[in-house]
Amino acid sequence: MKKEVILLDHGSGGKLSNDLVSALMLPVFDNTILSRLGDSATLDVGGTRLAFSTDSYVVDPIFFPGGNIGDLAVNGTVNDIAMSGATPLYLSVGLIIEEGFSVSDLETIVQSMGRAARTAGVSIVTGDTKVVNRGAADKIFINTSGIGLIPEGIHIEGGNARPGDRIILSGTMGDHGITILNQREGLSFDAPVQSDSAPLNHMVARMLAASRNIHVLRDPTRGGVGTILNEVALQSNVGIRIVESGLPVNSSVAGLCELLGLDPLYVANEGKLIAVVASEDAERVLSVVREDPFGLDACIIGEVVSAHPGRVVLETIIGGERIIDMPTGEKLPRIC
């Protein structure tokens, strides 16, 4: 932590973000719940296990094909809770609004937050609104926190992947990140892409009903599938092998990634999950995921191996290999 000022890279979800958390936050906030570093904290409250999570949304632009900052903020926290196997129940909403922001835009955002909450089956039960001087924030920032109930017998976390497990991805990669990038100033390719922002808690509930052998659930948001697989490989101390020819990517997203020099493996998703499932249950879980409206393109993208612990290796289309490393720099700031 010798850097003098905060760089955008410190918020990227990559190596510098991890450094910031482990060097600055963990020693100060020191507790065993935080140090697990899951998408949500797991709390034991009087014998009941709760999942508790928070996330802030600063996406630019605030309206984009497939959603807006409001439903993104609801779906994001719902999904973070669902990835622990919990049933999300209650959300809080904190709004930071720039002076001069359009009331009708705010109304649109709040309406879509309400719709997203109803779709996910959660209630927004507390909140806060602050308005800051023009220029002190960019239009609107939203924080959401939420809690959910973890059913008995469910123990899902990043460290549970075992050699032999199969890796399921619930659909195409990179739709959200590419949509946001495409909307940015000066980059308006006329491409049919839209954000995949969606709640995944109903999908997770069906998966858990179908199998007791789901070891890991993660939503590959910022940093994309490549980053999340690296985290799972490190936390579980296992190797992961994925096959390039089986990776689902929409053709428009693939084309824009080619043009912009991006790898869809590292581009953000907002309505996808990765499930690490015991091999004997993998096909059953996959078929349940495919029955969900947000899981139509789900497929098995690879497996957990005992070789190369902590590393993710991709088998390329021509049969070669390449290591999928943790990304180092901020590819796309303010993507969520």
Binding site for other proteins (CB under 8 A): 5-9, 15-16, 19, 186-187, 245, 251, 254-255, 258, 260-261, 263, 311, 314-323, 325, 328-329
Q: CA nearest 223: which of 17, 23, 14? A: 14
Kindly tell me which of 156 and 240 has the beta carbon lying closer to other proteins: 240
Q: For the CB of residue 250, give the shortest distance to other proteins in the complex, in Å.
A: 10
Kindly tell me which of 59 and 205 has the beta carbon lying closer to other proteins: 59
Kindly tell me which of 144 and 250 has the beta carbon lying closer to other proteins: 250
Kindly tell me which of 9 and 165 has the beta carbon lying closer to other proteins: 9
Q: For the CB of residue 16, give the shortest distance to other proteins in the complex, in Å.
A: 6
Q: CA nearest 122: which of 57, 170, 58, 71? A: 71
Q: For the CB of residue 26, give the shortest distance to other proteins in the complex, in Å.
A: 19
Return the ∠ at Cα 99 (arms to 93 and 101), rounded to 5°.
Answer: 70
Whose structure tokens read 């993507």?
Answer: 335
Give phi and psi for 324, each to the nearest 5.
-95, 105
* Alpha-helix runs per DSSP H in 237-331: 251-260, 279-291
SS3 63: strand
Q: For the CB of residue 252, give the shortest distance to other proteins in the complex, in Å.
A: 9
Q: CA nearest 120: which of 326, 276, 303, 294? A: 294
Kindly tell me which of 261 and 293 has the beta carbon lying closer to other proteins: 261
Say which amino acid occupies 137. Answer: A
Q: For the CB of residue 263, give the shortest distance to other proteins in the complex, in Å.
A: 8
Q: For the CB of residue 328, give the shortest distance to other proteins in the complex, in Å.
A: 4
| 8 Å CB contact between 99 and 130 | no
Q: For the CB of residue 249, give the shortest distance to other proteins in the complex, in Å.
A: 9
Tokens of 32: 């065993």
Kindly tell me which of 268 and 314 has the beta carbon lying closer to other proteins: 314
Q: Which residues contact 265 (CB under 8 A, 6 or more apart)?
A: 173, 224, 225, 226, 247, 314, 324
- The CA distance from 84 to 52, in Å, is 10
- The CA distance from 182 to 193, in Å, is 9
Kindly tell me which of 94 and 255 has the beta carbon lying closer to other proteins: 255
